[in-house]
Amino acid sequence: MPKNIKFTVVARTGNEAMAEAMRQINPDVVAAYPITPATEVVQLFASFVADGLVETEFVPAESEHSAISACVGAAAAGGRVMTSTSSQGLALMHEILYIASALRLPIVICEVNRALSGPINIHCDHSDTMGSRDAGWIQIFSENAQEAYDSIIQAVRISELAKLPSLVTTDGFIISHEMQRLEMLPDKEVQDFLGEYTPEFSLLDVDKPILMGTFDLQDYFFEHKRAQSEAMSVTPEYMEQVSREFAKRYGREYGMVEAYMADDAEIVTVVMGSAAGTTRAVVNELREEGIKAGTIKIRVFRPFPREWIVRLLKGRKAIGVMDRADSLAGFGGPVFTEVRSALYEEKTKPPTADYIYGLGGRDLSMEEIRGIYEELQEIQKDGKAGNLVNYVGVRE
Amino acid sequence: MKKGWRELETGSIDFAGRALQYETGDWRTYRPLWSKKKCTQCFLCWIYCPDSAVIAEDGEIKGIDLKYCKGCGICAKECPPKASAIEMKLESEFRK
């Protein structure tokens, strides 16, 4: 770790960590509307504005649709732009998310994962973020407040390099409201790391007038979408570049996918967000019992890290994918579908089953995770999964 | 030759004033006929034209730009009845 950086160690909730990151980023524009459990992020940020701690133009919008629309306008004008939302708020932003990414605007959203209604629920699952997975936004899932803080700072750089917007998520209440240890960078250090943002285009540049938001029909829409897909595909290069620089300067390194005890593991789970830590604790117990268990955490879900996943999962005896969202009679949850599909080209296809858990904030216990590994042991023995799609922690 | 996806500007951005290249005159069903003699130079047609197709030069209305005029007839409707300087005629009459 570099010696000359003086970290401040503080106790912060996930929301507070996200708000602090926003304060240090000091965006040109933040337009937002409050929603549980992300309300605090912009509430705290609004107080930073009121206290003169940031120079941001703060736009308290009348809905999330308006908030993200204002963000699109501000980003088109060449600003560094951020907002925060959750669940129904992200759903209300939905149509504008596609416009922001198609216009290649590097907006960063601090998103707190919460179940989409109905029935009405305010607690964590990943259905809201999964609902936006085809919107052309980079999606980074955080396991704790520190990751959220670091990922937000990195996402600003990544977005500006890739010219694509980013969603950085925490898990509602589990991370957003839990007080955790946070190592904060000095304010100036965040500014140095980000540097000045020089947009490729700006609507306010009168010397170089441009047209944005074109009507784009049968003759060009397809080409624009193809180019957008390519932009997402090359984003991991920017992510690795920013991650390396971050690690070099501050000592904390993040990958697209992070493996734990996976080198010799025969049975492996795939997990995203706050459940990753609980799963690692179970892996530790199993290892003490001599069971070759491991787990991998998908940190970046979009662009989907196919190569990383194949490299880490091929040749395993059994794989359990843990989904905190259901596709309701799709073929399992979204993570399962993509992970299993990624492995289809491999010569030996590891038997892979889906474990849908934690919908609407339902707690996931260590016993339940242990139960998943026990099933994976059965699958390893049989060489195939009995039930491909399973529900963990639901009352029968 | 239309561009391939690799040749496009980032984010479907285009140069300003793109509509200049889009000649909407061929949409027209009715053609406005402007009479220099009857025109009182009130500029109402110039104000109301949604396509900026009324030509104004040196402080005077000079006519209608048929390259862009869609033939909506707003100019003829807004032209004060006392003047009635614009008359709408079926485009097909000119294309015989």
Report cis status (omega within 30 of 0) of the bond before A350.
no
Task: Tell me how close the Cα of B18 comes to any Cα of chain A, in angstroms.
Answer: 7
CB A255 within 8 A of CB A308: yes
- Which residues are CB-neighbours of A53 under 8 A, at least 6 positions away? A23
Domains with residue ranges and CATH for chain A: 8-250 (3.40.50.970), 257-392 (3.40.50.920)
What are the tens digits of pLDDT across the range A251-271? Answer: 999 999 999 999 999 999 999
Bond prior to A119 in cis (omega within 30° of 0): yes
**pTM of the model as a whole:** 0.91
Chain B residues closer than 8 Å to A206 by CB: none
Q: What is the mean pLDDT of residues A101-121?
A: 97
Residue pair A379/A353 in contact by the 8 Å Cβ criterion: yes
Contacts of A223 in chain B (CB under 8 A): 3-5, 8
Question: B95 falls in which pLDDT band (50, 70, 90)?
Answer: confident
Name the pLDDT band for B28 (thresholds 50, 70, 90): very high
Parallel/antiparallel/unpaired status of strands A210-211 and A293-298: unpaired
Confidence of residue B11 (pLDDT cuts 50, 70, 90): confident
Nearest to B10 among A163, A214, A219 (CB): A163
Say if B4 falls within a structural domain.
Answer: no
- Is residue B6 in a domain? no
- Number of domains into which chain B is organized: 1
Domain assignment of residue B92, given as a range:
34-96
pLDDT at A226 over 90: yes
Query: What is the least distance, in Å, from the CA of B22 to any CA of chain A?
Result: 12
Asked if the structure places residue B28 within a domain, the reply is: no
- A200 vs B: CB within 8 A: yes
Dist. CA A159–CA A324, nearest whole Å: 26
A194 and A84 in contact (C-beta within 8 Å)?
no
Residue B85 domain-assigned?
A: yes
> In Å, how far is A176's CA from the nearest CA of chain B?
33
- Whether A214 has its CB under 8 Å from any CB of chain B: the answer is yes
| Chain A positions in Cβ-Cβ contact with residue B6 (cut-off 8 Å) | 227
- Decide if pLDDT at A148 tops 80: yes
Residue A215: is its pLDDT beyond 90? no
Q: Which residues of chain B make contact with A105, given a CB cutoff of 8 A?
A: 11
pLDDT greater at residue A90 or residue B21: A90
- Give yes or no for residue B59 having a pLDDT over 70: yes
B13:A102 CB<8 A: no
Mean residue pLDDT of chain A comes to 97
Q: What is the pLDDT, as a whole number, of residue A2? A: 63
The predicted structure's pLDDT at residue A1: 56
- Average pLDDT, integer, range A195-220: 92
What's the CA gap between A369 and A277, in Å, rounded? 11
> What is the C-alpha separation between A231 and A130, in angstroms, rounded?
20
Confidence grade of residue A3 (pLDDT, cut at 50, 70, 90) = low
Structural domain includes residue B16:
no
Q: How confident is the model at residue B14 (pLDDT cuts 50, 70, 90)?
A: confident
Predicted confidence at residue B96, as pLDDT, reads 72
Report pLDDT for B19: 83
Residue B66: CATH number of its domain: 3.30.70.20
Quote ipTM for the complex.
0.85
Cβ separation of B15 and A210 shorter than 8 Å? yes
Half-sphere exposure of A101 (CA within 13 A, CB side): 27
- Are A226 and B16 inside 8 Å of each other by CB? no
The pLDDT, as a whole number, for residue A356 is 98
Is A206 in the B-facing interface, judged by CB distances under 8 Å? no
Q: Which of B8, B15, B18 sits opposite A224 (nearest CB)?
A: B8
The answer to whether A303 touches A234, Cβ cutoff 8 Å, is no
What are the φ/ψ torsions at residue A391 (nearest 5 degrees)? -115, 125
Residue B9: the pLDDT is 87
In tens, the pLDDT along A63-103 reads 999 999 999 999 999 999 999 999 999 999 999 999 999 99
Render pLDDT for A169-184 as a digit per residue (tens, 0 to 9). 999 999 999 999 999 9
* Residue B87, domain member (yes or no): yes
Q: How far is A200 from chain B (nearest CA, A)?
A: 9
A147-151, Cβ contacts within 8 angstroms, sequence gap of 24 or more: A147/A254, A147/A299, A148/A14, A148/A17, A148/A18, A148/A21, A148/A110, A148/A175, A149/A12, A149/A17, A149/A18, A149/A20, A149/A21, A149/A182, A149/A184, A150/A246, A150/A250, A150/A252, A150/A254, A151/A254, A151/A299
Residue B70 resides in a domain: yes
CB contact (8 A) between residue B10 and residue A104: yes
pLDDT for A45 beyond 60: yes
Report the pLDDT value the prediction gives residue A139, as an integer from 0 to 100: 98
Q: Does some domain include residue B55?
A: yes
